[in-house]
Chains A and B, each alone.
Chain A
Amino acid sequence: MTAHAQAAHLETSTGLDNRKVAIWTFIGSECMFFATLISNYMVNKGKSLVGPFPHEPWTSPAGQHFEPIFEIPLVTLGTALLLFSSLFVVLALSGAQRGNRKALIGWLAATIACGVFFVGMQVYEFTHFLHRGLGFTTNLFGSSFYTLTGFHGTHVTIGVLWLATVWVDAVRGKLPPSKSLNLEMAALYWHFVDVVWIIIFPVVYLIK
């Protein structure tokens, strides 16, 4: 983006930058995407022909015993960190808008760290579930669970990559207040990804 392009603030009908309206529009569309995935999960609840199951133990016809598969404490920790990361990115954005480079770089790093932990937690969870007998095609629960949380995790990963790109720009001194919109867009996307998780967490992990 040239300085020329950004400084010549074309008047828009809403007063908002085109890119800000665009990210909100995109988020609106993504809401439908996740609403469909979440609905698919809910519709398939209780329909699995075989276990392992999320909240109940199960013994296979061959005699193998499976405990309920979810490990709530770990996921709760990841959830909490993801929630805090939304606060951190707000602080980073505030720093960017006020020209406080230290705040920007520090809080943005914290945001990214939380995101990385969350993804790491999910990778660990998926691997562990696989070991414990829940594959993608084991049952409808497995397919729906991995699809829903997998797509969310992919969105988190893309968010982490996006934030990291912005962070590199910040470290290189290429994120002055006039360019804070770049971070604001990434931050809006990040909040969205967080809100989706706030819905997924109870629907998938908590409600039986």
Chain B
Amino acid sequence: MATRVLDQHQAHAASHDEKTGLWSWITTVDHKRIGILYGATAFLFFLIGGIEALLLRIQLGSAENTFLSPDLYNQLFTMHGTTMIFLAIMPLSAMFFNFMIPLLIGARDVAFPRLNAFSYWVFLLGGLFLNASFLFGAAPDQGWFGYANLTSKQYSPGLNVDFWMLGLQILGIASLAAAVNFFVTIVNMRAPGMTLMRMPMFVWMSFITQVLLLLAFPVITVALILLMYDRFFGSAFFVPSGGGDPLLWQHLFWIFGHPEVYILILPAFGIVSEVLPVFSRKPLFGYAAMVFSGVFIAFLGFGVWSHHMFSTGMGPLADTFFALSTMLIAIPTGVKIFNWIGTMWGGSLQYRTPMLFAIGFIAMFIIGGLSGVMHSSPPADLQQTDTYFVVAHFHYVLFGGSIFGLTAGAYYWWPKMFGRMLNEGLGKVHFWLMLIGFNLTFFPMHFVGLNGMPRRVYTYPEGLGFELLNQVETAGSFVLGVAFLVFLVNIFQTWRKPRNAPADPWNGATLEWAIPSPPPEFNFAEIPTVHGRDALWELKRERGGTLPEPARVSGAGIHLPNPSYWPLVTAVGILAFFVTLMTLAATGIWPVIASFALLLLGVYKWAYEPAG
């Protein structure tokens, strides 16, 4: 009896394909909606990070400028870095993990839909927490890598470091939860016939990214806990006067920090590996090499961390080890670049916007990779490190790499996610403005850095020659700003178009293009069986070249998870826990305990509610 009632309930729910209203978004456990939430939130934070950058560039546009005070400048550069890494690039990648992974592997959702929602809410609350610091005039100001012992209570007595320290802990929880979820999803929920070596490359790169998240985030969690103990309870883990060692912080941070940069780039690698074959009309060149180079990069990525510490005087043996391991990691990275070019070689290249950004990615990432190799030599690096040369390097790989790649993904998957095609003309304008603006902003930094400009300086004097290149860089940053305005215009214009994009506008190779745009809540009416890579091209070949536009079916009888608000409640409990921890000295232990109780309540209710 009970079962039949349940069936009817599910059929009823499934036939309501389009739940609307704020409550449906708050309680959603649908990976597609969660993906859109991630994307919208991340894009907003990206724009905030961009405005922070423009303010920095205005300040540096002339020598001895007083547009920003030194403390505000230091807060802005710290928040720019922290925002771009943790609140923009990572969650933009998460947008694609969420929306696309189940579709690419032929699944109906991720392994743990409520855990998925939980990750999003914790991310949102963490991002808000971090930015709330501006309201207190105490935004983090110690640099995005927060070196001890500047971060000790003695030298950073304000709330700035506390916001950063606790904010990152909150965000770490979101990342870890999501990583468990996607790891299990990819391992366990692939369509029949989809062996690991038949997975789309975006899924492979995302898979490796989840492993990196799972292994790297615990390290920074510990580092931040030790820092918190130093600041709140008076321990001396990183405080020299108590026997502690500031260098320990650097080791712990970079053991996390280096895998983190691969976390930032691998999803973009994956996106480019999806886009290039479709717009070259031939398969990815060297699939196996791409998989193994990715695995090798991840593995080796745990063995290079001290290349961020070449100037600390670790001694010749340590320097040699890390120089060699860093050079070694250039090899699989180079292999990927060659494989991408090999994909294009002999193809029939279609220069639609996603392809432009994918090619732009390759061109920019080559430059970033080469400056990275230049850094790998410690004696040379002793001149380059902590100058604008390294600022150039990481912007080439993170912006020229990750952002270009993510933008390619946005244009590519926009029709699938929203049922509308972004405007091609505006897309091309966006691309060219971004390419030109990006290079104008960051290429000169190689030169001004090698010519003596250190990083993280709120101003520079006349007479060192830095003015001209800084002016060019500032001008370039505004060109970049215009590029993003064009993108925003494109998004708004597209929003008002009817939702009638075809299922397969690009002649795609992977499963997501076999279902309607946007997909129904249950994704696939029937879970497909896969017989090889590029499964959709296979299928189209069998059926004479194209497939008919898929019909929208009701999905009655398909079993879908119920919406839930317990993930949000638990997330709020976590936020409350960290806020009350920050105010511990003023408000005491009871609010912390109450928050923890709220957290436990959320978890308990979540565990015991029917999953549906």
The distance in angstroms between the C-alpha atoms of A73 and B168, with both chains bound, is 41
Asked whether A14 is an interface residue with its Cβ less than 8 Å from the other chain, the reply is yes
- Known: A18-B112, A143-B229. Contact between A8 and B559, CB under 8 A? yes
Give per-residue flags for B225-243: 1 if the beta carbon is below 8 A from chain A beta carbons, else 0. 1100100011111000011
Nearest A residue to B255, CB-CB? A36
A22-67 residues at the B interface, CB under 8 angstroms: 22, 25-26, 28-30, 32-33, 36-37, 40, 43-44, 47-49
Q: Are B218 and A25 in contact (CB under 8 A)?
A: no
Does A82 sit at the interface, judged by CB under 8 A?
Answer: no
Residues on B with C-beta less than 8 A from A33 are 218, 221-222
Question: Do B214 and A28 have beta carbons less than 8 Å apart?
Answer: yes
Distance, CA A160 to CA B194, complexed state (A)? 40
Asked if A40 and B192 make an inter-chain contact with CB atoms under 8 angstroms apart, the answer reads no
User: Is A139 an interface residue when CB atoms closer than 8 A count as contact?
Assistant: yes
| Known contacts A2-B6, A25-B183, A26-B180: A140-B188 contact under CB 8 Å | no
| Residue A5 lies at the interface, judged by CB distance under 8 Å to chain B | yes
Using C-beta atoms within 8 Å of the partner chain, give the interface range for chain B: 35 or more
Within the complex, the shortest CB–CB distance from B563 to chain A, in Å, comes to 16
Nearest-neighbour CB distance to chain B for A96, whole angstroms, equals: 18
B176 CB–A CB distance under 8 Å: yes
Cβ–Cβ contact B176 & A22, under 8 A? no
Instruction: Known contacts A12-B188, A18-B189, A143-B229; decide if A36 and B214 are in contact (CB<8 Å).
Output: no
Shortest distance from the beta carbon of B591 to any chain A beta carbon, whole Å: 19
Q: Contact check: which of B180, B219, B226, B244 meets A25 at CB < 8 Å?
A: B180
CB of B180 within 8 A of CB of A13, answer no
Q: Which residues of B contact A4 (CB under 8 A)?
A: 3, 6
Residues of B within 8 A of A149 (CB): none
Residue in B187, B226, B559 whose beta carbon sits within 8 Å of that of A21 in the complex: B187
Q: Contact string, B584-612, partner A, CB cutoff 8 A, digits 1/0?
A: 00000000000000000000000000111
Given contacts A18-B111, A22-B111, whether A137 and B235 have CB atoms under 8 Å apart is: yes
Interface residues of B in 195-230 (CB under 8 A from A): 214-219, 221-223, 225-226, 229
Least CB distance from B72 to A in Å reads 34
Interface residues of A in 43-99 (CB under 8 A from B): 43-44, 47-49
Is residue A147 within 8 Å, beta carbon to beta carbon, of the partner chain? yes
B420 lies within 8 A of chain A by Cβ: no
**Shortest Cβ distance from A142 into B: residue:** B235
Q: Least Cβ distance of B562 to chain A in Å?
A: 10
A22 to B219, Cβ gap below 8 A?
no
User: Could you tell me the distance between the alpha carbons of A49 and B559 in the complex, rounded to whole angstroms?
Assistant: 63
Asked if residues A40 and B226 are in contact (CB atoms below 8 Å), the reply is yes
Q: Check if A32 sits within 8 Å of B215, measured CB to CB.
A: yes
Q: Which of B214, B216, B223, B236 contacts A143 (CB 8 A)?
A: B236
Contact between chains at A136 and B235 (CB < 8 Å) = yes
- How many angstroms from the CA of A175 to the CA of B111 in the assembled complex? 23
* Chain B CB within 10 A, most for which of A2, A28, A32: A32
Q: Is B58 an interface residue (CB 8 A)?
A: no
Interface residues on A, range: 35 or more
Decide if B243 touches A22 in the complex (CB within 8 Å): no
A183 → B minimal CB distance (Å) = 14
Closest to A14 in B: B188
Instruction: Give bound CA distance, A133 to B181, whole Å.
Output: 45
Residue of B nearest to A15 (CB): B188
**B214 contacts A32, C-beta separation under 8 Å:** yes
CB neighbours (8 Å) of A26 from chain B are: 180
Residues from chain B with Cβ under 8 Å of A16 in the complex: 188
B36 at the interface (CB under 8 A from A): no
CB distance from B65 to the nearest CB of A (A): 42
Counting CB contacts under 8 A, is B252 at the interface? yes
Q: How far is the CA of A147 from the CA of B235 in the complex (A)?
A: 10
Considering the complex, which residues of chain B in the window 235-289 have a beta carbon less than 8 Å from any beta carbon of chain A?
Answer: 235-237, 242-245, 248, 252, 255
Interchain CA distance A36-B254 in the complex, whole Å: 13
Of B179, B237, B252, which one neighbours A36 at CB under 8 angstroms? B252
Contact of B611 among A1, A30, A36, A144 (CB under 8 A): A1
Any chain A CB within 8 A of the CB of B308? no
- Chain B min CB distance to A76 (Å): 27
Q: Would you give the shortest CB distance from B604 to chain A, in whole angstroms?
A: 8
Q: How far is the CB of A175 from chain B (nearest CB, A)?
A: 13
The CA of A36 and the CA of B243, in the complex, are separated in Å by 19
Instruction: Output the least CB separation between A173 and chain B (Å).
Output: 16
Q: Please judge, given known A-B contacts A18-B111, A29-B180, A143-B235, whether A5 and B187 are in contact too, CB under 8 Å.
A: no
Residues of A with C-beta under 8 A to B184: 18, 21-22, 25
- Interface check B32, CB cutoff 8 A: no
CA separation between A137 and B218, bound complex, in Å?
Answer: 24
Q: Is B190 engaged at the interface, CB distance under 8 Å to the other chain? A: yes
List chain A residues, Cβ under 8 A from B221: 33, 36
Interface residues of A (CB under 8 A from B): 1-5, 8, 11-14, 16, 18, 21-22, 25-26, 28-30, 32-33, 36-37, 40, 43-44, 47-49, 136-137, 139-140, 143-144, 147
- List 18 contacting pairs A-B, 8 Å CB cutoff, sorted by A: A1-B611, A13-B188, A16-B188, A18-B189, A21-B111, A22-B112, A22-B184, A25-B180, A25-B214, A26-B180, A33-B218, A36-B221, A36-B223, A43-B245, A47-B245, A136-B235, A140-B243, A140-B244
- In the complex, besides A29-B180, A32-B219, 9 extra interface pairs with C-beta distance below 8 angstroms are A2-B611, A13-B188, A28-B215, A29-B215, A36-B223, A36-B252, A47-B244, A49-B242, A137-B242
Top 7 A-B pairs ranked by shortest CB distance? A33-B218, A143-B235, A32-B218, A36-B222, A29-B214, A12-B188, A18-B111
